[in-house]
Every structure is written in C-alpha cells, then in structure tokens.
Amino acid sequence: MSSPATGFCLRGVCVEYGASAALREVDLEIEPGEVVAFVGPSGAGKSTALGLCNGMVCPTSGTVRLDGEDLCGLPAARLRALRSRIGLIPQELGLVGNLRVSQNVLAGRLGRRGALAGLRPLIHARRGELTEVLEILDRLGIGEKLFHRVDTLSGGERQRVAIARALYQEAGVLLADEPLSALDPARARETLTLLLAVAREEGLTLILSLHDIDLARELVGRLVGLRAGRVVFDRRREDVTDDDLRHLYQLEGDERVG
C-alpha cells in the first residue's frame, strides 16, 4: 500500500548556485500519478529539478508546491513527514555496501520512525517486516538475495535494491535521478520498463531524469526538455519532434569550438 499519489506545482522557479544559475524561470505542473522525464544535455539542470521535488534543493526565487504545500521554509518535522512520502533513487543509489539487502530495504521507512525506534530494524527486523521486504524483492526478481550483502551484488541487482527501498517506503512519489546511467542498453531498457510498471501498478507519480533520449521517447509518457536551466519543451512523447531534440542538444557556438 502506498500513500496517495502526489502532485507538484513549480511556479517561476529559479535556482542559483553562487553566481551561476542552474534553473531559470521554470513553470511546471505534474499531476498525481503522472510519469514525467526530464531530458537534456549534462548540466541542463535535470538533477536540480528533481532535487526541488523533495526539498533537497530550494529555489532562490519562485515556489515549489507539493499537493498545495510550499516545500521551502517548512519546519523540519513537517519537511521530514513530507519527505517520508517521497521515494528517491539517487544516481549513486545511496546503498550501504556492507549491510544486507534486507537492511538496505528496511531503511526505506526511516522517515516515519522516531530517533530510537529507527534503530531497532537495523539490529533486529521483525518477521513481518522481512516478509514484506521479501515480497517486494520477489516482485523485482531478486528475492533470493534477501540476506546477501549489497557489495556482493551486480550493478543491476543494486539498482533493484534501491527500487525496493523506495517501494518499501510506501511513497506516493518516486524520484529517480539518472537511474539508467550505470547500466548497459539491455539492462537500461529492462530497468526503465520495471520502474514504469511499478509506478503504474502502485499508482505512483514517477519523475525521472534521463540521459537516454531515445528510450525516454519510446517509453515515458511526458518529456520535459531542459537546456541551460530553461524548459525548452514540455510535451507528450508522441508530440516531441526531431526539431525539438536538435534544439535541445545543439551545441552553443563556443562549445562547438571548445
């Protein structure tokens, strides 16, 4: 059972790191249960845009609302509560190699536990909790790895552990930052298909950042093209034209020389 799906509303969002702008004047609406991919060249602001959705990045100006609630400036406890409903698969996965798969997945619910109650599953997981974890792992096809250490797993298996952690979290939203970057083409397709299936079955809002534009165009419902921090297009995948892509990936004059 996941939390009800969550929608996002970005209005006039700018994000600046020091003097450089990572995002400029971004307006975006994401409906609950929608699947959206940020696409664009490196440094376009895809990861920053994802970071806005769980408050890991705050806008320099503009607002980010999650089901109507402004994410910036929330009290710490409220922000933690909101974040506990937002699953995240970071690019580097954020798994602990010398813990077991079961423990890494159990970490998914830490946002909902108190400081001390959060320690118990690390030391002693209840049978019910393990059964639940095993069901999720089985669904992702790595059930037999339940008690393996994560650093003994392959890249693809680790990716699944990170997905399992997000599913165990019972979030309403799943954010995935470049989830395919470390995978070979066949595995990338398989993983994206899996993510989409999971999101559909659970009714999750799924927001991804993707490098592989062809795969995104083939599988993801809505694409938001980012270039130098600006939204250059925001369309259903069938409406994305080759012109859009040329514009998205065209090198700047000085970049071409460099």
Instruction: Write out the residues near another protein by the rule CB under 8 A.
Output: 17, 51, 54-59, 72-76, 79-84, 86-88, 90, 92-99, 103, 107-108, 110-116, 118-119, 122, 149, 169, 171
55 versus 225: smaller Cβ distance to another protein: 55
Q: Smallest distance from the beta carbon of 68 to another protein, in angstroms?
A: 18
Q: Smallest distance from the beta carbon of 171 to another protein, in angstroms?
A: 8
In sequence order, the 6+-apart residues with CB closer than 8 A to the CB of 125 are 102, 103, 106, 133
Q: Smallest distance from the beta carbon of 51 to another protein, in angstroms?
A: 7
Report which of 62, 40, 79, 31 is spatially closest to residue 205, judged by C-alpha positions. 31
Residues 38 and 213: their CA atoms lie apart, in Å, by 10
Residues 85 and 6: their CA atoms lie apart, in Å, by 9
DSSP letter, residue 162: H
35 versus 88: smaller Cβ distance to another protein: 88
26 versus 215: smaller Cβ distance to another protein: 26
1 versus 123: smaller Cβ distance to another protein: 123
Q: Smallest distance from the beta carbon of 93 to another protein, in angstroms?
A: 8
Please give the order of strands across the beta sheet that includes 69-70: 20-30, 8-17, 61-66, 69-70
